[in-house]
């Protein structure tokens, strides 16, 4: 469940959000493990502006 929420909340390089969502949704255990080890590294780092 954590991985699905994390995929939906972040942007990814090469617009792979849909791909990661489908992998985690249809292969719950293996997809989640793969996302945790490789997918999180492909997220776009956001820079927050502090005013």
Torsion angle (degrees, nearest 10) of CA 8, 11, 13, 15: 60
44, 13 contact by CB (below 8 A): yes
Q: What is the mean pLDDT of residues 9-37?
A: 86
Name which residue leads in pLDDT, 28 or 16. Answer: 28
- Per-residue pLDDT, 46: 61
Q: What is the mean pLDDT of residues 19-38?
A: 89
Q: What is the mean pLDDT of residues 10-33?
A: 86
Name which residue leads in pLDDT, 9 or 22. Answer: 22
């Amino acid at each position: 469940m954590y991985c699905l929420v994390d995929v939906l909340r972040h942007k990814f390089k090469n617009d792979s959000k849909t791909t990661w969502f489908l992998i985690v949704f249809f292969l719950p255990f293996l997809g989640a493990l793969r996302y945790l080890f490789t997918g999180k590294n492909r997220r776009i780092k956001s820079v927050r502006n502090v005013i």
